[in-house]
């Protein structure tokens, strides 16, 4: 729809017309503020926790294992230098893998993620139904934003 | 007409771009980007755009660019 609107404006004499191709959904998925009658609907983006343990793919398992053990979490998330989510290290992986291996070689690649504009109530119900204790949230570029837990929603 | 992504939009917003949501009025009323005005695509003409400055940048958006 917006490409047609941009063309229409050009035909009406507008000289600098841009089409934000990501649109409203891209904006929402970046956890940015909106106005309107539904703007106050609770979303998971309002309950994000950034306490999750993160690791770079070239770190040895032993280092990440120690950080996870010292935290309240039983897992870690692997990101690149730009914060893009690459994978997940479950507790069993951290305890069973060769401590000297880089975590990038033992991680579970491409974990499922949610966007922050998902409604909190629906996500709480979904996580509870599936017996999941947390969900990973990323922005449209794949950048890790944090995690949410059903008890917090 | 130039397609832009979020970082480009951010820069334009920082310079006071004119932002137009072209979705129907009901969708705009429910949720829209801050400072956006609403001119639904079906109503886009010389009269409805008269309040806009034709020589300043304008960004249009819909739900997902399709």
Among A3, A15, A30, the residue with its CB nearest the CB of B6 is A30
Strand partners, A8: none
Residue B31 pLDDT: 96
Does B3 sit within 8 Å of A39, measured CB to CB?
Answer: no
Instruction: Give the pTM.
Output: 0.88
The token pair that represents A130 in the structure block: 């599936």
Residue (of A106, A6, A152, A38) closest to B61 by Cα position: A6
On whether any CB of chain B is under 8 Å from the CB of A38, the answer is yes
Q: Which residues of B touch A19 (CB under 8 A)?
A: 1-4, 59-61, 65
CB contacts < 8 A, A to B, total: 136
Residue B66 pLDDT: 74
Q: Which residue of B has its CA nearest to A10?
A: B1
pLDDT along chain A (153 residues), means of 10: 94 96 96 95 95 96 95 95 97 95 96 96 97 96 96 93
pLDDT in tens, B28-63: 999 999 999 999 999 999 999 999 999 999 999 999
B11 CB burial (10 A radius; 0-12, 13-18, 19+): exposed
- Give which of B1, B7, B23, B46 to mutate to test A binding, by max A Cβ within 10 Å: B1
Write down the ipTM of this complex: 0.96
Interface of B with A (CB under 8 A): 1-6, 8-9, 12, 17, 20-23, 28-34, 41, 44-46, 49, 52, 54-66
Residue (of B19, B45, B40, B15) closest to A13 by Cα position: B45
Which domains can be identified in chain A, with CATH numbers? 1-30 (no CATH), 44-152 (3.10.580.10)
């Amino acid at each position: 729809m917006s490409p047609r609107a941009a063309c229409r404006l050009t035909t009406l004499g507008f000289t600098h017309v841009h089409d934000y191709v990501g649109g409203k959904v891209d904006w929402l998925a970046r956890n940015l503020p909106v106005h309107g009658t539904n703007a106050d609907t609770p979303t998971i983006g309002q309950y994000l926790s950034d306490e999750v343990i993160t690791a770079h793919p070239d770190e040895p398992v032993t280092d990440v294992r120690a950080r996870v053990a010292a935290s309240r979490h039983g897992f870690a998330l692997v990101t690149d230098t730009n914060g893009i989510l690459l994978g997940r290290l479950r507790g069993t992986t951290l305890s069973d893998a060769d401590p000297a291996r880089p975590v990038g070689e033992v991680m579970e690649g491409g974990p499922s993620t949610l966007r922050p504009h998902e409604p909190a109530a629906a996500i709480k119900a979904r996580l509870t139904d599936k017996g999941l204790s947390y969900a990973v949230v990323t922005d449209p570029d794949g950048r890790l934003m944090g995690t949410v837990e059903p008890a917090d929603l | 007409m130039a397609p832009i992504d979020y970082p480009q939009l951010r820069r334009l917003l920082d310079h006071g771009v004119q932002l137009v949501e072209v979705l129907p009025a009901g969708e705009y009323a429910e949720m829209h980007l801050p400072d956006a005005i609403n001119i639904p695509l079906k109503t886009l003409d010389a009269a409805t755009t008269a309040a806009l400055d034709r020589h300043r940048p304008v960004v249009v958006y819909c739900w997902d660019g399709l």
